[in-house]
Amino acid sequence: MAITTFIFLGVMVLIAGYLVVLYNNLVALKHRVAKAWANIDVLLKQRHDELPKLIETCKQYMSYEQDTLELVITARSSVANAREQQDMSALGAAETQLRGGLGRLFALAENYPDLKADESFRHLQSRISNLESGIADRRELYNDAVNLNNIRIEQFPDVVIANWFNFKAHDLLEFTETEIADVNVKALFNS
């Protein structure tokens, strides 16, 4: 009888240990998603802070391009609202709108040699382009973390632990088809 009890307790300890490992892995995945989002959020905030400077610099030269400037301002606000609410579908749509507006703004800047020569404009254009690249890189890492999290919380036996401790799936940060399509540079310059 003592050997049976010892075997039973050993099996129970192994099962409990296995469940603890599963739980800890799910916690690590949840925090990896949060960290990936925080990395995107930092870049979005930095870009958010740079855009008013860019708009002000452009306003000095582009008096006839108010529609484009207002599009960027509106899109900036939409991105900020979606970011604060962590609404990934709204953020993707707002990002698409903002990137389109910035593309048009930079294309229109070609028509203003004084603006293109302005050191502040060139610096801001470079800074925003670098932030855009960083956001794209971080978005890829975020989506990888989300995908891994979402797969694990649906797989057995992880799904049992995930449901028991209320682990949730996260939305991917996706951009609309126009964001991932090839840019028609000719159309940007003819706008």
How high is the pLDDT of residue 62? 76
Q: Mention every residue, 6+ apart, whose C-beta is less than 8 A from residue 170.
A: 33, 88, 146, 149, 150
pLDDT of residue 147: 95
Q: What is the pLDDT of residue 169?
A: 92
Q: How high is the pLDDT of residue 187?
A: 45
- Kindly give the parts of the chain with pLDDT less than 70: 64, 176-191
C-alpha distances out from residue 34 to 27, 87, 139, 171, Å: 11, 14, 12, 12
Please count the other Cβ atoms lying within 10 Å of the Cβ belonging to residue 67: 10
Number of domains in the chain: 1
pLDDT confidence of residue 177: 55
- The CATH number of residue 78's host domain is 1.20.1440.20
- Give the residue numbers spanning the domain of 117: 2-190
159-183 confidence digits (pLDDT tens): 999 999 999 999 988 876 554 444 4
- pLDDT (0 to 100) of residue 68: 83
pTM score: 0.75
What does the mean pLDDT of the chain come to?
85
Q: What is the pLDDT of residue 138?
A: 93
